[in-house]
A and B are shown apart, each in its own frame.
Chain A
Amino acid sequence: MTNAIETFKLTRAFNGLTAVDKLDITVESGEIFALLGPNGAGKTTTISMLCTILKPSSGTAKVNGFDIVKEAMQVRRSIGIVFQDPSIDDRLTGRENLFMHANLYGVPASEQKNRIDGVLKLVELEDRADDLMRTYSGGMRRRLELARGLIHYPKVLFLDEPTIGLDPQTRDHVWKYIRELKEAHDITVVLTTHYMDEADRLSDRIAIMDYGKIIALDTVPNLKETLEGDVIIIIAQNLDAVVSLVTEKMGLSHSHVVNGTVEVTVKNGKSMLPRIVDAATQNQIFVESISLREPNLEDVFLHYTGRTIRAEGGKEPHGISAIKRRRIR
């Protein structure tokens, strides 16, 4: 198995703030690799450097064997990018956008028509291909952008927050396309997301990123396994008392307050559950409800960072970019 991407202490700082900190990751050919983290974790900065849009402050990376600093043109020719924000010309038709892209990426004129028909079919936009893109819905625009990223047969496709701002149904659709594209074209996909379900459903491996660093990197099952067990959810009047009870008196190290509940990760949930109730009763803590569930990616994130992915970094788009997104999606 060859590597599609290798980074070597890849670093980028903005005015003294280190957005990406000595990143060392390897993405294998043919896998779907997700960079998961809250907004501001450095995902987009990482992708921007790999796509040669941003120059690293130090360190470097290889994409398809080309150095992102010294061989930027070769890197650009060998990758496809779907940006976080829309990047189509809405006064051209879908097909015209695709032709333009094919020309920009030097696709031979004799092959352009065939390839464009092919990708249009893949994202089921043949019927609308000759309409101006301003008449497209948000989901259709996204699909066309996905199709566009493939026309020049890239070896690696970068997707920056591919389903941000889309409704659940359209997201499902886009996920389906991404998987189909990967199968049909045998490419490597690198995506960033702050949606747990997106990373969970799409990717082979996930790198959890926070404050510019990778804090965990593995397959989804392995990541969940590191939690060693189940999650017990407790609702009580005094949450702090519950936390100190389970950590100090019972010696369970992985407990967090999440959305007005206490979540405790334990090895054997079924046997631990009654013991927590007993211990609480002995210490005059009234437990309103208690339940058990399988761990999910959110727990993995919580486990490594001590925070939920939503809790902080809630930097929603504001100002003109928010208006634009609303207008366009």
Chain B
Amino acid sequence: MPAKHDHHDHDHDLGGHDDHIAPAEAPPSAHEILERAISALLIEKGVIAEADIQRQINFMASRNPALGAKIVAKAWADPAFKKALVAEPRETLKAHFDIDIGTATELKVIENGPRDHHVVTCTLCSCYPRLILGPPPAWYKSFEYRSRVVAEPRAVLKEFGFEPPRSTAVHVHDSTADLRYLIIPRRPKGTDGWSEAKLAALVTRDSMIGTAEALEPAAA
């Protein structure tokens, strides 16, 4: 069966393999066969070791929205950190969280506010800040989300349970090339003096994509 071109060929973030694994009873896809052949060759020729692959899989599996939530909570609690994070995300994440963004892509950090609400998509594939949020949710990669959020963002946000007022400009960011986005959601009211750990519990994955707001204190 010929390989179906699935537009994932330029999803060059690390660790994009987890979502291509088919059930054990299905015959391997063309991509899996290719991946196995290349791994076997690289190992046989001594370029990498099996342990390197496992280490990288473990590293990517350790990335999840909890890491992003810690970053956002610190930004809420520490204005100087937030300023640095927005101005120089690469240096700031390295210094405070030992996160190495690498050289392939740039990270852009944007803060949501009452005047401007930002929401992120990737119409061409599923570009996503995996290093900070882990693998993207299935809906983020769906054709429906990608095609609709650019054309009718307010209708899509409403389906996620969030209706920005018309006095708020909605900014859709189509992550088409070398930028990845992290959204800092608005800090909920009634959280003055909260610790970073307590604040982090309010920061959901969706709020860092921009399809939702952070949780209200009562809901956490």
Q: Do A and B form a real pair?
A: no
A residues at B contact (CB < 8 Å)? none
B residues at A contact (CB < 8 Å)? none
